[in-house]
A and B are shown apart, each in its own frame.
Chain A
Amino acid sequence: MPQLDDSFLALPLQALTDAALSKAKDVGCSYAEVRVERIRAAYRSFRDHAIDTTADNQVLGLSVRVVHNGVWGFASDITLSPDSAARMAERAVATAKVSRPLTPASVELADEEVYSDAGWVSAYEVDPFDVDEATKTGRMLGLNEALLAAPGVTHANATLGYVHENKYFANLPGTSTTQQRVRIQAQLTAVSVGDLGFATMRTLAPPTGRGWEFLTGTGWDFDAEVAEIPELLAAQVAAPSVEAGHYDLVIHPSNLFLTIHESIGHATELDRALGYEAAYAGTSFATFDKLGTLQYGSEVMNVTGDRLVDHGLATIGYDDEGVGQQRFDVIADGILVGYQLNRQMAAEKGLGRSNGCAFADSPGHIPMQRMPNVSLQAAPEGPSTEQLISGVDKGIYIVGDKSWSIDMQRYNFQFTGQRFFKIDKGRLAGQLKDVAYQATTTDFWRSMEAVGNPDTYVLGGAFNCGKGQPGQIAPVSHGCPSALFRSVNVLNTQAEGGS
């Protein structure tokens, strides 16, 4: 079991805390918090037989956030000294003073238990930063070479990213937490270039809260997946173009996770529902007055938010406001029953304790309400994927994510995928291409007739979900089973655009 890094613990965390919080208290702040974060990130890209990018990055810094005369203030710097920490407290107060004309109501925060000297480490085995470079490069190029050796593969690309994140947090009420997370993402893409143009197919392996063990057989079999791709790509190149119309869809978790992310995850962020993101990420059709009554989807739809599932990308012991990890219902039996919260919104709407969804992606950014792991639950006695397919007369089985787009209130979306199989009278009948499905969120989820059993459940996710201004990225996971949707609008992408 990995332990908190000694090199992070060796930073003068207590001295920084004492300097910042005592200064904040001296200048009259009603609340103050300190965050020290170190984020190590690595990125490698490979093109055919060669490496293209070898880049490591480390962010290490300190931030202070205060409430001064009822107004938020925030400042950050990279100098980790008590003098700098005290100066950041003063600069945070300065930003609060400049912002005073813009703040009609005083900031209030929901109560939270105090956690003293708490520690937490995510569930991984091997820190990728501890693996020698030649091993990592050799593994990725080996997989790329396997693709290139197959007939019909003209080019192959691969990317490898991994992150080691340490967070320290302390606030005036007395909470102090020290945490560590590791995550990894590897993707390979085969490219076919022929007389009629080019086509691509990518691995389905999700980003995950694991370490290097993910590339060596724990949680995923990359070799098996890479071995399948050339044949699947060749079949896609030769596949007929889809006829636009309405189809029943059986959607694999490798595609459905992204639809969940866009049409449920973002739509149930309370900051969006309250308008805080209105000028940028957008608002939500799931407005606060609909809590407890909105028929979001069919009765088989049960969605939870959590920050505690093993290997979840949003999993963490304590959020960036010092709130302990929780699981909570978002949609129960198809009805909207919960939002994602931070402490300010929980207090503003009288919802009691925050459910722990505050996150900042770096020490230089302000904590904001970000998505926990938002997951669609499987049916304990539900059907297998094959049984879902067998119930479809004319339909499409969709696997893997590719293109995604949704409007600023999370109504209208359009998704494509990595591969599309025609379903004819309950059986798969070869691939189709040029498929995109387009729907309104509530119509789509209300058309969900069945969800698969727990054996069909996969934890997918994204490394870089964007939100906020200044822009922040957040890692997040979404688990889901295979699911059946009736009569969904399918476009032929070749027929779109042009004159």
Chain B
Amino acid sequence: MSIAPQDLVEAALSVATLPCVSSVRDRTEANLRWANNGLITNGEMRSRTLTVTATADVEGGTAAGTVSQEIADVAEVAAVVAAAEGLARTGRPAEDAAPMVQNYAHNDVWTDPPETTSIEVLDDLAKGLGDAFERAEAARHLLYGFAEHAVETTYLGSSTGLRRRGVQPTGRLELNAKTADREASAWLGRTTRDFLDVDVVEAVDELSTRLGWASTKIDLPPGRYETLLPPGAIADLMIYAYWTANARDAEEGRNVYAAGDGATKIGQRIAELPITLRSDPLYPGLETVPFVDFTSSLDDTSWAFDGGLPIKETTWIDRGVLHELIRNRGHAIRTGTEPTPPPDNLIMDGGGTASLSEMIAGTKRGLLLTCLWYIREVDPERLLLTGLTRDGVYLIEDGAVVGAVNNFRFNESPVELLGRISEIGVAELTLCREWNDYFNRTIMPTIRVPDFNMSTVSQAS
């Protein structure tokens, strides 16, 4: 890969005959995966993807065409541009068409080379895990998990003269410990930018404590329980609410944020407590690429016409009141509003100061969850979700954990849940469980819900 990614972007722009945005994403990643106290897979991968979005005036409006291709040589560029332009020229007009993003001032250093990673980033982790496996064998525990470090550098250029460069390091460690009979299980996740802050010994010790809690088994029936949802669990629910926050769907009456007759719930109180949910590409420790380098977001909004648009801090829920939803520029122009490209992080805070241990101490009788799993949408109108508890449900009595409980299937809506939260703990950096393949950067509090709906018992352990 001797060709610089910047040269690929420039090559694309130089052969383009239509207005276009060209970006190259250079990605390196390394990973280790283990089970039953031994390695199962590993790898080091490198890729470089050129994405070209061309726009063309067609009968009735403007059409866009996007083509992405892994690319190793500048000779391949012209075909990608031609394919994108072909899609645009033969396409139908898009409702979300908008003028190309104009050049603007920023502090990116376009000429810097891509940042990278390699398998050696995980060298110390591997040695620590090797020691941990020996200790786990002695304790009759089994360790499972996954560690991954990826670094992406994006170079984006447009025919309006814009040139932007963004670097996104993403790392995660998932560690799962089970007793030898697999009847008890505990899990923790860590998000990291470089693996320098990962302490395997501390992580394994924490899991051992949780497996100790599970030495007493308690069977509980389905029902509604006072429940403490730790940061990772509430992160999975709030991420789903974020991925549903499509402004156009709400205005058209087809998501949970709809208020009928073309109106949305923006301005309505949806949480009794002063909960704020926001995203900020510059948030310290959660930094994300601060410009649009994607053509669609997970709420199904198209960003094909918005390449290079700056991504700003956005408050979605402001002290309990729905404040904003996701919309692209085309929709913003049509509705006289501002575009709200979604940053790749999510921060929830209610001003709480209590730690998890303090919230356990303040519980007369309730459940403490570890994480949620297999979350799927049952009813989009209410955003009713179903899913399972996983890797440790604990019963709290008189301020202390007294044992591990069976798993449950839940049916709950995160939006309805916001209105029923009775206590919010301190917000902290966390890794969600279900969605961490797609969403790595969250700060969340532990929350207390007086009546979490455990619909049935799951026999899974």
Is B409 touching A73 in the complex (CB atoms < 8 A)?
A: no
Cross-chain pairs A/B with CB under 8 angstroms, 7 sampled: A45-B300, A51-B92, A56-B83, A365-B43, A407-B390, A471-B437, A497-B412
Interface residues in B82-128 by Cβ distance below 8 A to A read 83, 86-88, 90-96, 119-120, 122-123, 126-127
Whether the pair B39, A72 counts as a contact (CB closer than 8 A) is yes
Q: Is A325 an interface residue (CB 8 A)?
A: no
A-side contacts of B34, CB under 8 Å:
102
Contact flag A279-B174 (CB < 8 Å), given A53-B304, A76-B46: yes
Surface stretch bound by B, among A131-139, A221-229, A304-312, A326-334? A131-139
Q: Are B413 and A498 in contact (CB under 8 A)?
A: yes
Q: CB of A405 within 8 A of chain B?
A: yes
Q: Which residues of B contact A (CB under 8 A)?
A: 1, 29-48, 63-72, 83, 86-88, 90-96, 119-120, 122-123, 126-127, 129-130, 133, 142, 144-146, 148, 174-176, 178, 182, 187, 252-254, 258, 295-296, 300, 302, 304, 373-382, 384, 386-388, 390, 407, 409, 411-413, 416, 419-420, 437, 451, 453, 455-461
A50-B92, A51-B92, A102-B32 known; A412 vs B409 contact (CB < 8 Å): yes
Chain A 400-416 near chain B by CB (<8 Å), digits 1 or 0: 00011111111110101
User: Contacts of A491 on B, CB cut-off 8 Å?
Assistant: 411, 455
Q: Whole-angstrom distance between the alpha carbons of A410 and B69 in the complex?
A: 37
Stretch at the interface among A90-98, A370-378, A379-387, A420-428: A90-98
Known pairs A79-B1, A470-B148, A499-B420; A438 contacts B409 (CB<8 A): yes
Instruction: Please determine whether B68 and A75 come into contact, CB atoms closer than 8 angstroms.
Output: no
Q: Give bound CA distance, A180 to B457, whole Å.
A: 45
Q: Is the interface of A mostly helix, strand, loop or mixed?
A: mixed
Q: Which of B44, B83, B416 has the most CB of A within 10 A?
A: B44
Interface residues of A in 239-276 (CB under 8 A from B): 274-276
Q: Across the interface, do A134 and B68 meet the contact criterion of CB distance under 8 Å?
A: no
- Partner among B36, B254, B460 whose Cβ is within 8 Å of the Cβ of A275: B36
**Would you call A60 and B302 a contact (CB within 8 A)?**
no
Contact: B411 with A95, CB < 8 Å?
no
Q: Which residue of B lies closest to A61 (CB)?
A: B70
- A410 vs B407: C-alpha distance when bound (angstroms): 13
In the bound complex, do residue B409 and residue A470 qualify as a contact, i.e. CB atoms below 8 Å apart?
no
Stretch at the interface among A12-20, A207-215, A280-288, A478-486: A280-288
Known: A414-B386, A470-B148, A493-B379. A72 touches B41 (CB 8 A): yes
Q: How far is the CA of A50 from the CA of B258 in the complex (A)?
A: 22
Known: A283-B182, A414-B378. 12 other contacts (CB 8 A): A54-B88, A57-B69, A78-B72, A79-B1, A95-B44, A200-B380, A407-B409, A408-B388, A491-B411, A497-B412, A498-B453, A499-B419
A276 and B35 form a contact (CB under 8 A): yes
A102–B144 touching, CB < 8 Å: no
Give the total of A residues in contact with B, Cβ under 8 Å.
88
- B459 to A, closest residue via Cβ: A411
CB of A297 within 8 Å of the partner chain: no
| A497 and B384 form a contact (CB under 8 A) | yes
A446 interface residue per 8 A CB criterion:
no
Which residues from chain A contact B29 at a C-beta distance below 8 Å? 470
**CA separation between A191 and B254, bound complex, in Å?**
8
Complex contacts, B33 vs chain A, CB 8 Å: 469
> B35 to A74, Cβ gap below 8 A?
no
Q: Which residues of B contact A74 (CB under 8 A)?
A: 41-44
- Whether A52 pairs with B42 at a CB distance below 8 angstroms is no
Q: Is the CB of B182 within 8 A of A275?
A: yes
Tell me if B's interface is mostly helix, strand, loop or mixed.
strand
Considering the complex of A and B, which 10 residue pairs feature the smallest CB-CB distances, nearest first? A101-B130, A496-B411, A279-B144, A102-B39, A409-B460, A279-B176, A412-B458, A74-B43, A193-B253, A407-B460
Interface contact A94-B90, CB-CB below 8 Å: no
Cross-chain contact A51 with B94 (CB below 8 angstroms):
yes
Given that A53-B296, A278-B178, A285-B459 are contacting pairs, would A407 and B388 also be in contact in the complex, using a CB cutoff of 8 Å?
Answer: yes
Asked whether B90 lies within 8 Å of A133 as measured between CB atoms, the reply is yes
Q: How far is the CB of B394 from chain A (nearest CB, A)?
A: 17
Closest-CB distance, A469 to chain B (whole angstroms): 4
Task: Flag if A496 contacts B174 (CB, 8 Å).
Answer: no
Q: Which residues of B contact A197 (CB under 8 A)?
A: 253, 381
Please, how many angstroms separate the alpha-carbon atoms of A50 and B122 in the complex?
Answer: 48
- Give the distance to chain B from A394, nearest Cβ to Cβ, in Å: 22
B residues in contact with A365, CB < 8 Å: 43, 45
A50 contacts B95, CB within 8 Å?
Answer: yes
Instruction: Flag whether A103 is at the interface (Cβ < 8 A).
Output: yes
Contact of B94 among A52, A98, A409 (CB under 8 A): A52
In angstroms, Cα B257 to Cα A167, docked, is 45
A78 in contact with B182 (CB, 8 Å): no
> Taking the complex as formed, is A350 at the interface, i.e. its CB lies under 8 A from any CB of chain B?
no
Chain B residues closer than 8 Å to A56, beta-carbon distance: 66-68, 83, 87
Residue-wise interface mask of A (39-59) relative to B, using a CB-CB cutoff of 8 A (1 in contact, 0 not): 000000101001111111111
Check: A347 CB closer than 8 A to any chain B CB.
Answer: no
Cβ 8 A contact of A98, one of B120, B253, B458: B120
- A476 on interface, CB distance cutoff 8 Å: no
Set of chain A residues within 8 Å of B46, measured between Cβ atoms: 76-78
Is A366 part of the contact surface with B, judged by Cβ < 8 Å? yes
Report chain A residues within 8 Å CB of B47: 61, 76-78, 364
Q: Are B35 and A279 in contact (CB under 8 A)?
A: yes
Q: Is A141's beta carbon under 8 Å from chain B?
A: yes
Minimum distance in angstroms from A354 CB to a CB of chain B: 16
A410, B458: Cα distance in complex, Å: 9
A58 contacts B455, C-beta separation under 8 Å: no
